[in-house]
Amino acid sequence: MPDDVHPQRPAEDPTARPYDERPAGGGPSPAGTWAVVEVAGAVPPAHGPHGHPWLTFDGDGVLFGHAGVNRVRSTWSLDGGRLTVGPVVQTMMAGPDDVTRSEVALVAALTAGGTLEPTDDGLALRATDGTTLLLRPAPPGTGTSGGAGHALR
Q: What is the pLDDT of residues 99-108, one digit of tens each?
A: 999 999 999 9
* Residues 56, 117: Cα–Cα separation, whole Å: 17
Domain chopping of the chain, boundaries? 16-138
What are the backbone dihedrals phi and psi of residue 81, each rounded to the nearest 5 degrees, phi first?
-100, 10
pLDDT at position 27, please? 64
Residue in 4, 56, 52 with CA at minimum distance from that of residue 30: 56
What value does the mean pLDDT take over residues 128-149? 78
Q: What DSSP element (H or E) covers 130? A: none
CA-wise closest residue to 19 among 143, 152, 135: 135
**pTM for this model (two decimals):** 0.76
In words, the CATH class of domain 16-138 is mainly beta
